[in-house]
A and B are shown apart, each in its own frame.
Chain A
Amino acid sequence: MDTQNIKQISDVVVRFSGDSGDGMQLVGTLFSDAAAVEGNGISTFPDFPSEIRAPQGTVAGVSGFQVHLGAAKMTTPGDGCDTLVAMNPAALKANYKALKPDSTIILDADTLTEKEFRKAGFSTDDPIAELGLTEYNIISPAITSLTREALSDLGLDIKSATKCKNMFALGLCFYLYNKPLEHTFDYIERKFAKKNPAIAQANVRALKAGYNFGANTHAFANTYNIKAAVLEPGTYRMINGNQATAWGFIAASQKSGHPLFCGSYPITPATVILEELAKRRDLGVVTVQAEDEIAGICTSIGAAFAGSFAVTTTSGPGLSLKSEAMGLAVMTELPLVVVDVQRGGPSTGLPTKTEQSDLLQALFGRNGEAPMVVIAASTPSDCFHYAFWAGKIALERMTPVILLTDGFIANGSEPWHIPQMSDYPVIKPPVVKNIEGDYFCYDRDPEAYARTWAIPGTPDLEHRIGGLEKDRRKGSVSHDPHNHHTMTELRAEKVARVADMIPRQGVVGAPEGDLLVVGWGGTRGHLQGAVDRMRAEGKRVSHCHFNWIDPLPRGVEEIFSKFRQIVVCELNMGQFAGYLRMNFPQFDYKQYNKVQGLPFTVDELVSHFNTLI
């Protein structure tokens, strides 16, 4: 190590940005992983365009990955960044607004050319001045040519050599934040060593070159060290929301003894769940990549009828397509979990951006009276927990369940204290194997109202179900007016009684105060960050966050009644606020809404909340 000053800091936000093809998501992930293994708290925010390779060098084609690492658990990926890696002028232009004062910009000098300036839409040849960034700490090594030079004796073609420039940038950041390179070496070894040893060697070389460049040129006035967070003892890993969702389902399948079936259709940003499940034939997971969204859910309904724990995964537009079939699952009272990884809408909207605007669709977007249980996960890692519980509820209560996540938590990752499955409850679906006398498939459990599940292949329990209204007992088709009314009530009551198996609503902070910040789903980290900051300033603010949406948990009114004001914050135009007004009309709800395809920032929340108290 050299003699430069190492400053201790509590946390830092780094953003990697470049062309979609520059490998920014990869280096962002590797940087996060290395810091996580070194014990830092981590929260990440990948942010990319919907085009796979938008025109090179343009602002539209910029892909970014932001990571917040710190000496404690990080609840958000941070509002602005302390270090911005910009692989070209377009990346600088796309991200400069996120710079905090005093931040460092690492910019590839090789891209400071007239051609690149024009592509990025600069009108002058001085992007720094044009964007008003002259006060910032700008480091601009010739990343592209230094990378090529470092690899010059490896005999790679120029394209392959140039591709390694992301590793050079990563190495430089490792130097800046005093992180070891070994974790990345391990990754490169796993990924390339067998398949393509030359590429593996090139990546290692570029990574080292970046690191050494920092050390040898004294590129930075200081380097930084962020201590490990104090975490509960145990085994940890990094996990993103989609992976956690997939694994939560596998866990529920294992705990129930019913094989997991996922019929699904690729859609951003939900596809990774299907991909993760497709890998797991070794755990008996069956995936069908269906011909469309409707076939995705319909194959799953068929599988549920046939005795599987069936799930289907989608995003908003796909949820619309699945609506009719969700009604079929409601009517046939089969266990099914539908995951909606919400994205910007309506229509195709903003496929790679986050939003919470499918809430009312999830609650009400079906023909007829068609209640489903609705659950929302709120962090990348708690997707595991809520996917598990979505499965438990679906299987034990014989009902379809919607699990809402969103692009932010689905793509974001964080360190996760790996649970042990022995700590999770068993799942006991109401399967019948034999029965005295005639079998009536709509006979219900007197408490939970779940009907029994006779799986095809079971002798003597042959029965027929379908989308037509059913006789309340036998399950045969019934057009009787009173039966229909009764069945409608029974289906609603069955969903309502799920409240018996979920925890009471909680509140973070004091149980009473001036302002209650209410949110649901993937905004948890930002809302908590804002409330924590205000509480540290002595403000009487608390946070009440919902994961259980329908049915709502018990204890909500008690919490709400103890605050002078309630503000409901969501990434939509006020859907949950409306739902709360419908359920608890006695309270007055203020709203804070944002639909920019972006998560909240803690800064904007705090400044808004300060206007309320």
Chain B
Amino acid sequence: MAHNCIYSAADFKSDQQVKWCPGCGDHAVLSSMTAALAKISSEDCVPREKFTVVSGIGCSSRFPYYVKSYGFHGIHGRAAAIATGVKVANPDLNVWVATGDGDSLAIGGNHFIHAVRRNVDLTMMLFNNEIYGLTKGQYSPTTKLGKITKTSPFGTIEKPFKPGELAIGAGGTFFARSIDAEVALTTELLVSAARHRGMAVVEALVNCVIFNDKTHNNFAGDKAIRAENTILLKHGEPMIFGANRDKGLVFDGEQLRVVKIGESRGDGSQSIVTEQDILIHDAHTTNPMVHFLLAGMSWPDYPVALGIIRQVEAPSYDSEVHRQVAEQMAGTKIADIDDLLNSGATWTVAKS
């Protein structure tokens, strides 16, 4: 069938009423995603019926209902496992996963790390609002230490996960981060993630207006705050940030440090920092060390890293499975079930 692959974002909006709270960060990511789907389908000629969105449970996991594509709303924590099955069974599909910090880092933590480890060709949008929204405000594995929530009335006593550290630690091949308000950036990152062959995790820092309002505001509250407190990483470019682009990151062999261009390095030496001293972002190096440190940077000691932190090539699990299938099918004497049943030691009972 000939396909008209020219779609607009509107073509990916389902007829379902979107039921997130007004002001919820998920709305913005939905806009980014439908824009990303339109771009991929148009530019790469992927017809709409090839897209499948899989989710778990939580506010963000309602995502599939709002996207006009094939969709599967799973059970809590299992989105990555279900999506793995979809992709391996039908590698032709363009498979997306919508999941949250509770869904993929608590109850589904095991599936998350293993999907990453296997490098299944999935595009995962990991909505991180650092809270359980759908169950009304309990702390999650990414909630800041000490935060008072309904289930931590005296403050949490658990050190939070950083999804990027987890993904990179599990051998992830693609990790990027965006903020709900940065719709264009999110769109761009989702497009890159979808084009990555392998598991791509895009962490979207989203606001839960009801149960964890402004949790990201210290570094993400508005454009000016973001300019000073986040860094947009681009492969091959120096890690410079700040409204005046006068701050940057250097690597001292052990850790990253924030420096100001034109000022002393602050490492005891007399040298003055110049632009040449600033670390160049290499998203493509297989060595995960700097990526890990970048993913782990948190406010106020560091700017929060946005953009593609890691993007390396490796065979995807689904393509490897089907490579083996093709090889085995080509080299076998067993062409069908009858051959199989009659293989090995058999004997014949003759008519008596």
Q: Are B49 and A233 in contact (CB under 8 A)?
A: no
Interface centre among B72, B92, B110 (most CB of A within 10 A): B72
Q: How would residues 260 to 276 of chain A score, 1 for a CB under 8 Å from any chain B CB and 0 otherwise?
A: 01010000000000000
Q: Pick from A187, A295, A467, A468: contact of B111, CB below 8 A.
A: A295
5 contacts between A and B (CB under 8 A): A295-B78, A306-B86, A328-B74, A463-B71, A467-B75
By a CB distance below 8 angstroms, the chain A residues around B338 are 420-421
Inter-chain CA distance A465–B82, complex, in Å, is 13
Name the contact of B70 in the complex, choosing from A327, A420, A456 (C-beta under 8 A).
A456
The interface on chain A, measured as residues whose beta carbon lies within 8 A of the other chain's beta carbons, has a size of 73
Which of A254, A281, A304 is within 8 Å of B324, CB to CB?
A281
The answer on a CB contact under 8 Å between B90 and A456 is yes
Q: Which of A235, A280, A464 contacts B347 (CB 8 A)?
A: A235
Is B49 in contact with A290, judged by CB distance below 8 angstroms?
no
Q: Bin chain B's interface residue count.
A: 35 or more
B71, B81, B328, B336: which contacts A302 (Cβ < 8 A)? B81
Select B342's contact among A186, A235, A280, A325, beta carbons within 8 Å. Answer: A235
Q: Determine, out of A33-41, A74-82, A165-173, the stretch whose residues face the partner at the interface.
A: A33-41
Task: Verify A298–B325 contact, CB threshold 8 A.
Answer: no
CB pair B89 A465 closer than 8 Å? no
Asked if A282 and B334 sit within 8 Å, CB to CB, the answer is yes
Summarize B's interface: helix, strand, loop or mixed. mixed
How many angstroms between the C-alpha atoms of A46 and B57 in the bound complex?
A: 44
- CB of A286 within 8 A of CB of B345, answer no
Q: Is B230 among interface residues, defined by CB-CB distance under 8 A?
A: no
Give min CB distance, A474 to chain B, whole Å. Answer: 10
Give chain B residues whose Cβ lies under 8 Å from the Cβ of A254.
336-337
Residue of B nearest to A258 (CB): B89
B324 touches A299 (CB 8 A): no
Q: Are A419 and B341 in contact (CB under 8 A)?
A: yes
Query: Which of B216-257 touch A at CB < 8 Å?
Result: none
Contact stretch, chosen from B26-34, B61-69, B138-146, B258-266:
B61-69
A427 interface residue, CB < 8 Å from B? no
User: A231 touching B349 by the CB < 8 A rule?
Assistant: yes
Task: Note all chain B residues with C-beta closer than 8 A to A294.
Answer: 78, 81, 111
- Contact present for B346 and A233 (CB under 8 Å): no
Q: Give Cα A89–Cα B285 distance, bound, in whole angstroms.
A: 62
- Per-position binary interface string of chain B over residues 329-352, scored 1 when its CB falls under 8 Å from any chain A CB and 0 otherwise: 101101011101110111111111
CB distance from A276 to the nearest CB of B (A): 10
Do residues A283 and B334 form an inter-chain contact, with CB atoms below 8 A? Answer: yes
Most buried by A among B68, B88, B89: B89
- Interface residues of chain A, those whose CB is within 8 Å of chain B, are 33, 36-37, 39, 183, 186-187, 230-238, 247, 250-251, 254, 259, 261, 263, 280-286, 288, 290-292, 294-295, 298-308, 310, 324-325, 327-328, 332, 418-421, 455-468, 476-477
CA distance A39 to B50 in the complex (A): 55
Q: Are B340 and A460 in contact (CB under 8 A)?
A: no
Contact B341 A261 (CB under 8 A): no
Kindly state the separation between the CA atoms of A261 and B332 in the bound complex, as whole angstroms.
Answer: 19
Contact (Cβ within 8 A) A261 B340: no
Contact, CB under 8 Å: A301 / B85: yes
B73 CB–A CB distance under 8 Å: yes
Whether A462 contacts B70 in the complex (CB less than 8 A), given A233-B349, A250-B340, A310-B89, comes out as yes
Type the 1/0 row for B30-73, where 1 means its CB is closer than 8 Å to any CB of A: 00000000000000000111101011010000001100111111
Distance of B119 from chain A, by nearest CB (Å): 13
Please give me the 9 A-B residue pairs with the lowest Cβ-Cβ distance, nearest first: A466-B73, A302-B85, A464-B71, A282-B332, A299-B85, A303-B89, A298-B81, A281-B328, A456-B70
Contact B92 A247 (CB under 8 A): no
Q: Contacts A298-B85, A303-B88, A460-B49 known; list 8 others, CB within 8 Å.
A: A261-B89, A282-B331, A306-B86, A306-B89, A325-B75, A328-B75, A465-B71, A466-B64
